[in-house]
Amino acid sequence: MNAKTTKTEMKKPEASTPTASVIANINGVNVENATVLKYQESNPKRAGSKAHQRFELYMKAKTVAEFLKLGGLKADLRYDADKGFVEIAPK
């Protein structure tokens, strides 16, 4: 600590999320690992794209934890929810 550094500056910032288990807030729903997902049956992504390949893997996921384990990205989940490709069950 130098002469210009104060104890207040050295404090770590507090967490901005209300609970550690919340992964994201998508369309007003706090999404957690146990949040239930329901994907449509057909793949709407452009054939041959990486997004199409990931969708094929994660479209069978029943929960967010399973979705992430199958290779889905948070950005995929947000995009799919915005486009109506997935239903996110609120808690």
Structural domain contains residue 9 = no
Q: Is residue 68 part of a domain?
A: yes
CA distances from 46 to 49, 51, 56, 72 (A): 6, 8, 11, 16
Question: Does residue 15 belong to any structural domain of this protein?
Answer: no
Please tell me the total count of domains within the chain.
1
SS3 at position 38: strand
The mean pLDDT of 47-68, rounded to a whole number, is 95
Q: Is residue 48 part of a domain?
A: yes
Phi, psi of 5 (to 5 degrees): -90, 135
Question: Could you tell me the two tokens for 83?
Answer: 């486009």
User: Which pTM does this prediction carry?
Assistant: 0.72
Domain encompassing residue 72: 26-88
Identify the H or E element spanning 86. Answer: strand 86-88
pLDDT for 14 beyond 90: no
Mean pLDDT, the chain, integer: 84
Nearest to 83 by CA among 56, 32, 45: 45
